[in-house]
């Protein structure tokens, strides 16, 4: 059966097999990042509302458990096509997830802008892992790259994240996304090193664009630059766990309803039963509805053979349901593969 707010499980570089929950339902965020993989923010806001009511979301999670309960994910990840902490029922959602799937840890992706709100802080204390992002400590870079709501500054976000970390006993996985010529400055690296040394997150993940961003101004940095930043910032953590993830995680949404239906040993789509062929098609199409991806990215996320993914993409492209992204938007993404998109 189809799910509206649940996606996955899909493979995520930082969380393993992650079942995504969409807390927004729409393109609502407190930032409008140049690099956002799901496009431009439609509603830029700091107002918290039950964008997706906890009851609707948790009813769906119960249904998912009843259908897939024998294959539990490594994490339930709260995200969406925007900032999940904008959902004013975050507290009930985290608690409900833990009740419905008691053995699965809950992770929350956040752009950190709402960490100053005491209600958000209180709700997040219940999560097992929080994945905040903070791309620059220099206001000019932060404003240019993340384009937040008025009144949000790099300094305020950094201060609130630090304050939250002092009361939080779960894991903090800090993400820093680098965009060429915007926040990859030496000055930013120096400030972030000092900050990470004080924050002492469980992990720091330096990423760069791996998919086309909302604006062509956002371009990936060279792999060597990303690696050098990763090493420099990891060295600031006393007990660092590296995971090698290079792909951007926020927003977290991925999709694969019927995740088990197309696990197969064959490389030929035509050899699959009709039901599995259409399940593979549906999963690829829904995943591309969320964000542009290459065949390899889809194969990893959906745990499908690459050849099956490529055959599905060819069919969808011939039908006119998807198209390849323009080369100028993908030129610096460190891949020769084309990106496919629905939008
Ligand atoms: S990348 Fe994350 S924080 Fe930035 S606009 Fe997209 S959803 Fe919002």
Q: How many CB atoms lie within 10 A of CB 68?
A: 17
The last residue of a domain, from among 234, 252, 283: 234
In a domain, 318, yes or no: yes
In a domain, 263, yes or no: no
Half-sphere exposure of 56 (CA within 13 A, CB side): 15
Low-confidence ranges of the chain (pLDDT < 70): 1, 240-266, 273, 326-332, 343
Q: Are residues 216 and 321 in the same domain?
A: no
Q: Are residues 185 and 331 in the same domain?
A: no
Q: Are residues 165 and 287 in the same domain?
A: no
Return the pLDDT at 263: 44
Return the pLDDT at 255: 33
The last residue of a domain, from among 234, 256, 287: 234
Ligand 1 and 341: CB distance under 6 A:
no
Q: Are residues 170 and 76 in the same domain?
A: yes
C-alpha 262 – ligand 1 centre gap (Å) = 31
C-alpha 32 – ligand 1 centre gap (Å) = 6
C-alpha to C-alpha distance for 274 and 293, rounded to whole angstroms: 25
Ligand 1 and 199: CB distance under 6 A:
no
CATH, residue 324 = 1.10.10.10
Residue nearest atom 8 in ligand 1 by C-alpha distance = 82
Return the pLDDT at 175: 97
* Nearest atom (ligand 1) to Cα of 109: 2
Residue nearest atom 7 in ligand 1 by C-alpha distance = 82
Return the pLDDT at 302: 82
C-alpha 250 – ligand 1 centre gap (Å) = 6
Determine if the peptide bond prior to 251 is cis (ω within 30°): yes
Q: Which domain holds residue 314?
A: 269-341
Pocket test for ligand 1, best of 22, 35, 143, 251 (most atoms within 8 A of CB): 251
For the CA atoms of the chain, what is the radius of gyration?
A: 19
Report residue 139 as tokens: 């206001």
Residue nearest atom 4 in ligand 1 by C-alpha distance = 33
Residue nearest atom 6 in ligand 1 by C-alpha distance = 36
C-alpha 143 – ligand 1 centre gap (Å) = 13
Q: Are residues 61 and 191 in the same domain?
A: yes
CATH, residue 196 = 3.20.20.70
In a domain, 215, yes or no: yes
Cβ atoms of 5 and 22 closer than 8 Å: yes
Ligand 1 and 89: CB distance under 6 A:
no
Cβ atoms of 136 and 195 closer than 8 Å: no
Cβ atoms of 309 and 295 closer than 8 Å: yes
Return the pLDDT at 233: 97
Q: What are phi and psi of 217, to 5 degrees?
A: -65, -25
Ligand 1 and 33: CB distance under 6 A:
yes
Q: Are residues 54 and 174 in the same domain?
A: yes
Burial grade of 144 (CB within 10 A; 0-12, 13-18, 19 or more): middle
Instruction: Using the structure block, give the residue that is written with the tokens 């769906």.
Output: 60
Q: Are residues 209 and 306 in the same domain?
A: no
Distance from CA of residue 326 to its chain's centroid?
Answer: 23
Residue nearest atom 1 in ligand 1 by C-alpha distance = 36
The last residue of a domain, from among 234, 260, 278: 234
In a domain, 1, yes or no: no
In a domain, 243, yes or no: no
In total, how many domains does the chain have? 2
Overall residue count recorded for the chain in this entry: 343
Q: Are residues 183 and 97 in the same domain?
A: yes
Ligand 1 and 203: CB distance under 6 A:
no
Cβ atoms of 285 and 48 closer than 8 Å: no
Q: Are residues 154 and 224 in the same domain?
A: yes
Q: Specify which residues 11 forms β-bridges with.
A: 17
């Amino acid at each position: 059966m189809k799910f509206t707010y649940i996606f996955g499980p899909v493979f995520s570089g930082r969380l393993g097999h992650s079942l995504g929950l969409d807390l927004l339902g729409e393109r609502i965020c407190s930032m409008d990042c140049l690099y956002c993989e799901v496009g431009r923010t439609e509603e830029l806001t700091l107002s918290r509302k039950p964008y997706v009511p906890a009851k609707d979301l948790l009813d769906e999670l119960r249904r998912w458990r009843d259908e897939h309960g024998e294959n539990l994910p490594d994490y339930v990840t709260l995200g969406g096509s925007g900032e999940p902490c904008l959902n004013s029922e975050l507290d009930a959602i985290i608690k409900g997830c833990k009740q419905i799937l008691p053995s699965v840890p809950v992770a929350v992706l956040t752009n950190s802008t709402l960490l100053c709100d005491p209600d958000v802080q209180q709700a997040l204390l219940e999560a097992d892992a929080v994945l905040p992002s903070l791309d620059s400590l220099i206001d000019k870079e932060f404003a240019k790259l993340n384009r937040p709501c008025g009144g949000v500054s790099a300094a305020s976000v950094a201060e609130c994240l630090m304050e939250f970390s002092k009361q939080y006993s779960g894991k903090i996985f800090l993400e820093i996304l680098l965009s060429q010529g915007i926040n990859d400055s030496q000055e930013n690296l120096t400030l972030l090193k000092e900050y990470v040394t004080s924050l002492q997150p469980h992990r720091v993940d330096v990423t760069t664009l791996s998919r086309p961003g909302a604006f062509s101004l956002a371009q990936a940095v060279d792999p060597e630059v990303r690696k050098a930043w990763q090493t420099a910032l990891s060295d600031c953590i006393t007990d660092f766990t590296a995971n090698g993830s290079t792909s951007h995680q926020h927003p977290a949404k991925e999709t694969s309803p019927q995740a088990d239906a197309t696990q197969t040993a064959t490389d030929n789509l035509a050899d699959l039963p009709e039901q599995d062929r259409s399940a593979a098609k549906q999963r690829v199409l829904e995943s591309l509805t969320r964000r542009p991806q290459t065949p390899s990215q889809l194969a990893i996320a959906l745990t499908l053979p690459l050849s099956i993914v490529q055959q599905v993409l060819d069919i969808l492209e011939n039908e006119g349901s998807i198209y390849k992204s323009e080369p100028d938007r993908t030129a610096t993404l460190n891949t020769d593969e084309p990106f496919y998109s629905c939008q």
